[in-house]
Every structure is written in structure tokens, then in C-alpha cells.
């Protein structure tokens, strides 16, 4: 028997240890069949069940991710992954270069929003409303809103009319499906989200919009009426845009908007990467590229100053759709966000239709862990500061603020959305929440987060049809629809007690903070 050396890798070095109870096991093999990372295998053992035992592999490349598909599939409840607090994974796994993974920041899972409560309740001074029977007006603008003095209004008799066109503004639901690209997501996952979006619009009268992500658009969708629900994203790689442009003459309708992605909250300053192995045939077709590793650089080549970023990029995207479609920009929240927002607000050509701010708790399909954990800026204070900067100039509301990054992280998306709206957001974005509704089991405690490996056990972040077939589009879409309907009811349940029938954008006076530091940073009352 070979000696065991202390430097040999052992399962106790890995973040998850598989707990197998041989007395319950019936050797059906389902756990090993279901495991996408091949973390477990059977061996002959005189002490096992009928001569067999299950073993976890002590290999970095096959380290258990804790996804728990084994316990899900086990008819005997005989197996489960256990979190190993003493693991050495971050040390050992860097043997092959920087550590990569998907998911969200695990270090910065702080929940500022949970330290806020809706503390200003309408009672005697004014009546609370009833969330069921009162009429609520839950829509938010996307597009450049002009200062009232700049509106080309003409008084004609007793009516006002517009004497010239104004920048396009869409009035949409204050929650947008965030940008997750075709490529990052499987075809079924992306389609399920798009399908849910269409369903919400056409069957539930919720005008929810979905951002395409940076991986282009399916040609069939570009040429369908459902395009009106889509916000088309352009990022540094410009993937799929040649095909979007070629489809222009055949489009039946305008898209809801265009979103220029400058940065991503989960990995600001770190570009995207789609390894050649994931560039399946359909991705080649949609993005218009050969099979190769695809880089989205961290910066847009050709934009070297904010003036260029605003002018060149916005102008081109506005021009592409005849100035009929609002064009917005998404940046990772940063110390510099207020400066960026000021520049946008002061842009004399009124071509920026929205400032999307992505906080550090945003998710990603693949990032260097160093970026995921150690770069980025929490959302709440930066949103508040942007709103207050606009307010100080009398420009609040002129460029709608849409924010994302951790919205719905605890499942309470309506509460998160409402609080962010009170802090100044016009609307919020959810991404991770959607894939969690589809079946993603990843979390901020290091579970799964294998989005970068192509081995997503839920068939969401993979292009391998063996896994993609695990995902039921209809059930997934239905789960999103059900959640959104509950979200809508819950949002009204928060509007009603503060006595508002429309969104209280910037109305921070309804919030109190139960943490002094948070209260001070956001300019709220401290309550205890």
C-alpha cells in the first residue's frame, strides 16, 4: 500500500465533501449519473453495499461544487454534499492560473437593503391605500426626459401640443430582465426568459422588458413582433450586431431600447470570455463568428474619453434606429459613477436615455474570482448619490436611473426594488433571480457557481444539449411569470401603506435605517 503524503490532494482540501450513507444506499447509480463534474464514482469495497462503495474524487478539476443534484436524485436520501469550512481550495486551485468561476461575490454579500425598512406608514395623517382595490400606476420611463423648458410645446387653444419630436421614452414595468447573453445562457434558458417576458406582456398586461445581453439576438426574434419587448445590448465585443443590422429591413417593430454596456458590476474592469468549447454552432450563427475563443475586452476599443463614449456610441445607436429607440448606458457602480452621471445629464444633445448602474452584487457567467470578490462598488449609496447629484442640479428624473446587482438576492425582489426606487431608482434589473427561478442552485455561500465550466447541472449556463435537455422551457417560464405576478402584488403592498399610487422615485423619506452608518451614508433617519 502506497504511503499517503501530506502534500497529496485529499477530499478534505476541497470546499465540499460528499457524505454518503452506505446503509441507506441501494446502488441505483443515479447520483453518479447526475453529477456533472464527475465528482463521485463507485469502487469495489468489501465493506460497501454488496461489495461496492461510493467515493469522492480528490481532484481539483472534479471537485464537488455542492450543487446537490446527487441528493436531489437519490431515492434513498443517502447522499449529500457537506460544506467543508476547513478547505484549502483557494490556495490549491490557483495552480493553473487565476481562479475563475461564475455566480456572485461571496465576500460582499452585505445586504444594505435589509437594514432599511419602510417606516413612514400612512395612518392618521393620510389614509393608507388598499393594494387590492386602489388603482396603481406602476410604470417607469426609459428614455431621455427633457427639462420642461426644453419641451417643444405649443399652446393651441386650450391644449398643448408638441411642435417637434422629442427623444423617445418608453413607459415600462419598473423591473427589467437583466442582460444575460446567448452563450452565457443555454438556448432553452434564454428562450424561457424571453417567453416569460412575452407572456407577461400579452397575457398579464405587465410591460416587462428583457435585455438581450451582449451575445446578439436570435434572428427569428429580431423579425418577430416580440422584438418590441427586447432591449438590445451592445458591449465591447459588438457580438451579433452585424446580424442585427442586416435584419433591420425585415423588422416588424422597433426594439424597446438599446443598452450600451460599459462595465458589469460583478467584474468591473474585467472583460468577458467565452471559451471556444462553448462557442457551439448556434452561437457562431447568432454572433456571426467562427468557432474560436471570444473575448469581450474590458473597454470599448475606440472610446477613449467620456465625450466619445457618450457622443459616438450613443449617436450611432440612436441613428441605427432612426432616433426612435431610447439608448441607455450601463456601467459598473464606481466611485466615479456620479461624475459619469453628471456628464450624461449635461450632454447637450439629449441622446442618453438611461443610466444603468450595476452593483458589486451582480452576477456573472464567468469571471476571475479576484475581480468578482475584490472589485466593484455596493449599489445603494452610489444610486443615492447619483440621484442627489441630479437633484442638486434640478435634473432629477431626466435620465432614468435603472439599477441592478443583488436585487432579489434573498428572494425578496419587491422589497429590494421598492427600497431602491425610494433611494432614486426608476427601475431595477434582475438576472440571477431569473435563472434561480429556472432552477439554478448557485448561491453566495459558494454553492455551485460553475457557470464558467459548461457543466451547469440545471442546463442553464451550458451549451451541452445533454444538460440543456434537463431544462423545461414551459415550466421555467411559468415559474418566472408566477414570481413576477407575486412581485407586482407585493410592490403594491409596499406602495399602499405609504399612500402612493405611483412609484415614489427618490422618496427616501419613507425609509428608515436600523443601522446608524447606513442611515448616515444614505441620509436617512436612524430608527431603533
Residues 77-136 that bind other proteins (CB under 8 A): 122, 125-127, 129-130, 132-135
Task: Kindly identify the residues of this chain, within the stretch 51-70, that bind other proteins according to CB under 8 A.
Answer: 51-52, 69
The whole-angstrom distance between residue 35's C-alpha and the CA centroid of its chain comes to: 26
Among 102, 237, 431, 506, binds other proteins (CB under 8 A): 506
Question: Mapping DSSP to helix (H, G, I), strand (E, B) and coil, where does residue 209 land?
Answer: strand
Of 271 and 454, nearer to other proteins (C-beta) is 454
Burial of 299: CB neighbours in 10 Å, binned 0-12, 13-18, 19+: middle
Rounded to a whole number of angstroms, the minimum distance from the CB of residue 387 to other proteins is: 10
Sole residue written with cell 441592478: 404
Contact 116, 383 (CB under 8 A): no
Q: What is the dihedral of CA 173, 174, 179, 182, to 10 degrees?
A: -20
Q: Could you give the string, one character per residue 167-186, with x where binding to other proteins holds by CB under 8 A and - elsewhere?
A: --x-x---------------
Residues 6+ apart with CB under 8 A from 375: 267, 268, 269, 270, 360
CA separation for the pair 372, 359 (Å, rounded) = 11
Of 133 and 250, nearer to other proteins (C-beta) is 133
Provide the terminal-to-terminal Cα distance of the chain, rounded to the nearest Å. 64
Q: Is 308 in the site for other proteins (CB under 8 A)?
A: no
Q: Is 164 in the site for other proteins (CB under 8 A)?
A: no
Of 163 and 245, nearer to other proteins (C-beta) is 163
Q: Is 477 in the site for other proteins (CB under 8 A)?
A: yes
Question: Mapping DSSP to helix (H, G, I), strand (E, B) and coil, where does residue 478 land?
Answer: helix
Rounded to a whole number of angstroms, the minimum distance from the CB of residue 395 to other proteins is: 8
Among 193, 505, 511, 524, binds other proteins (CB under 8 A): 505
Of 405 and 476, nearer to other proteins (C-beta) is 476
Rounded to a whole number of angstroms, the minimum distance from the CB of residue 147 to other proteins is: 6
Rounded to a whole number of angstroms, the minimum distance from the CB of residue 375 to other proteins is: 30
CA separation for the pair 202, 199 (Å, rounded) = 5
| Residue among 491, 471, 490, 489 nearest 479 (CA) | 471
Contact 357, 379 (CB under 8 A): yes
Q: Is 475 in the site for other proteins (CB under 8 A)?
A: yes
DSSP 146: P
Rounded to a whole number of angstroms, the minimum distance from the CB of residue 448 to other proteins is: 14
Of 307 and 509, nearer to other proteins (C-beta) is 509
Of 232 and 372, nearer to other proteins (C-beta) is 232
Task: Kindly identify the residues of this chain, within the stretch 200-219, that bind other proteins according to CB under 8 A.
Answer: 202-204, 218-219
Residues 6+ apart with CB under 8 A from 205: none
Sole residue written with cell 443555454: 186
Rounded to a whole number of angstroms, the minimum distance from the CB of residue 293 to other proteins is: 15
Residues 6+ apart with CB under 8 A from 98: 368, 369, 370
Of 397 and 446, nearer to other proteins (C-beta) is 397
The CA distances from residue 368 to 37, 97, 260, 292, in Å, are 20, 10, 23, 20
Of 242 and 316, nearer to other proteins (C-beta) is 242
Neighbouring C-beta atoms of residue 60, cutoff 10 Å: 15
Rounded to a whole number of angstroms, the minimum distance from the CB of residue 477 to other proteins is: 5
Stretch of 10-18, 197-205, 326-334, 429-437 contacting other proteins, by CB under 8 A: 197-205
Burial of 93: CB neighbours in 10 Å, binned 0-12, 13-18, 19+: buried
The whole-angstrom distance between residue 438's C-alpha and the CA centroid of its chain comes to: 13
Contact 92, 11 (CB under 8 A): no
Task: Kindly identify the residues of this chain, within the stretch 329-388, that bind other proteins according to CB under 8 A.
Answer: none
Task: Kindly identify the residues of this chain, within the stretch 4-43, that bind other proteins according to CB under 8 A.
Answer: 27-36, 38, 41-43
Among 391, 410, 445, 520, binds other proteins (CB under 8 A): 391
Rounded to a whole number of angstroms, the minimum distance from the CB of residue 199 to other proteins is: 5
The whole-angstrom distance between residue 251's C-alpha and the CA centroid of its chain comes to: 27
Rounded to a whole number of angstroms, the minimum distance from the CB of residue 469 to other proteins is: 4
**At 389, which helix (H) or strand (E)?**
helix 379-392
Question: Mapping DSSP to helix (H, G, I), strand (E, B) and coil, where does residue 101 land?
Answer: strand
Q: Is 276 in the site for other proteins (CB under 8 A)?
A: no
Task: Kindly identify the residues of this chain, within the stretch 144-163, that bind other proteins according to CB under 8 A.
Answer: 145-149, 151, 153, 155, 157-162
Among 117, 336, 500, 514, binds other proteins (CB under 8 A): 500
Of 246 and 282, nearer to other proteins (C-beta) is 282
Rounded to a whole number of angstroms, the minimum distance from the CB of residue 320 to other proteins is: 21
Sole residue written with cell 461544487: 65
Among 19, 59, 137, 525, binds other proteins (CB under 8 A): 137
The CA distances from residue 478 to 138, 232, 434, in Å, are 22, 24, 11
Task: Kindly identify the residues of this chain, within the stretch 415-474, that bind other proteins according to CB under 8 A.
Answer: 454-455, 457, 464-474
Of 138 and 298, nearer to other proteins (C-beta) is 138
Of 48 and 106, nearer to other proteins (C-beta) is 48
| Site size for other proteins (CB under 8 A) | 110
Question: Mapping DSSP to helix (H, G, I), strand (E, B) and coil, where does residue 278 land?
Answer: helix
Rounded to a whole number of angstroms, the minimum distance from the CB of residue 454 to other proteins is: 6
Amino acid at each position: 500500500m502506497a504511503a499517503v503524503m501530506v502534500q497529496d490532494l485529499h477530499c478534505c482540501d476541497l470546499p465540499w465533501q460528499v457524505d454518503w450513507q452506505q446503509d441507506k444506499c441501494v446502488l441505483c447509480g443515479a447520483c453518479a449519473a447526475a453529477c456533472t463534474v464527475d465528482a463521485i464514482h463507485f469502487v469495489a469495497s468489501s465493506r460497501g453495499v454488496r461489495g461496492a462503495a461510493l467515493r469522492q474524487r480528490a481532484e481539483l478539476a472534479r471537485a464537488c461544487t455542492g450543487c446537490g443534484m446527487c441528493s436531489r436524485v437519490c431515492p434513498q436520501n443517502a447522499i449529500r454534499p457537506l460544506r467543508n469550512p476547513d478547505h484549502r481550495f483557494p490556495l490549491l486551485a490557483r495552480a493553473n492560473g487565476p481562479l475563475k468561476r461564475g455566480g456572485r461575490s461571496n465576500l460582499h454579500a452585505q445586504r444594505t437593503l435589509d437594514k432599511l425598512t419602510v417606516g413612514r406608514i400612512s395612518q392618521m395623517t393620510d389614509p393608507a391605500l388598499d393594494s387590492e382595490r386602489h388603482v396603481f400606476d406602476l410604470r417607469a420611463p426609459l428614455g431621455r426626459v427633457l427639462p420642461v423648458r426644453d419641451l417643444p410645446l405649443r399652446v393651441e387653444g386650450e391644449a398643448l401640443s408638441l411642435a417637434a419630436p422629442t427623444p423617445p421614452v418608453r413607459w415600462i414595468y419598473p423591473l427589467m430582465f437583466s442582460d444575460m447573453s446567448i452563450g452565457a445562457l443555454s438556448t432553452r434558458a434564454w428562450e424561457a426568459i424571453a417567453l416569460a417576458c412575452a407572456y407577461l406582456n400579452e397575457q398579464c398586461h405587465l410591460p416587462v422588458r428583457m435585455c438581450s445581453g451582449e451575445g446578439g439576438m436570435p434572428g427569428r426574434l429580431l423579425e418577430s413582433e416580440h422584438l418590441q419587448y427586447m432591449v438590445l445590448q451592445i458591449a465591447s465585443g459588438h457580438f451579433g450586431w452585424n446580424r442585427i443590422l442586416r435584419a433591420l429591413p425585415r423588422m416588424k417593430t422597433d426594439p424597446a431600447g438599446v443598452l450600451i454596456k460599459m462595465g458589469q458590476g460583478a467584474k468591473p474592469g474585467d472583460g468577458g470570455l467565452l471559451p471556444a468549447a462553448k462557442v457551439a454552432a448556434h452561437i457562431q450563427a447568432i454572433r456571426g463568428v467562427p468557432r474560436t475563443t471570444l473575448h469581450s475586452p474590458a473597454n470599448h476599443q475606440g472610446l477613449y474619453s467620456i465625450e466619445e463614449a457618450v457622443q459616438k456610441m450613443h449617436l450611432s445607436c440612436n441613428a441605427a434606429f432612426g432616433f426612435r429607440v431610447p439608448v441607455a448606458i450601463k456601467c459598473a457602480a464606481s466611485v466615479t459613477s456620479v461624475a459619469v452621471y453628471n456628464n450624461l445629464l449635461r450632454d447637450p444633445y439629449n441622446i442618453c436615455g438611461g443610466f444603468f448602474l450595476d452593483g458589486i452584487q451582480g452576477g456573472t457567467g464567468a469571471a476571475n474570482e479576484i475581480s468578482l470578490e475584490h472589485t466593484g462598488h455596493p449599489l445603494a449609496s452610489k444610486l443615492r448619490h447619483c440621484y442627489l447629484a441630479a437633484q442638486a442640479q434640478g435634473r432629477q428624473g431626466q435620465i432614468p436611473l435603472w439599477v441592478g446587482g443583488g436585487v432579489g438576492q434573498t428572494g425578496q425582489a419587491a422589497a429590494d426594488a421598492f427600497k431602491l426606487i425610494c433611494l432614486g431608482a426608476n427601475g431595477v434589473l434582475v438576472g440571477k433571480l431569473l435563472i434561480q427561478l429556472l432552477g439554478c442552485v448557485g448561491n453566495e455561500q459558494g454553492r455551485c457557481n460553475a457557470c464558467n465550466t459548461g457543466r451547469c447541472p440545471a442546463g442553464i449556463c451550458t451549451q451541452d444539449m445533454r444538460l440543456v435537455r434537463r431544462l423545461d422551457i414551459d415550466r421555467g417560464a411559468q415559474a418566472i411569470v408566477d414570481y413576477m405576478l407575486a412581485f407586482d402584488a407585493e410592490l403594491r403592498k409596499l406602495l399602499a401603506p405609504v399612500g402612493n399610487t405611483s412609484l415614489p422615485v427618490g422618496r427616501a423619506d419613507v425609509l428608515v435605517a436600523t443601522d446608524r452608518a447606513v442611515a448616515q451614508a444614505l441620509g436617512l433617519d436612524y430608527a431603533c
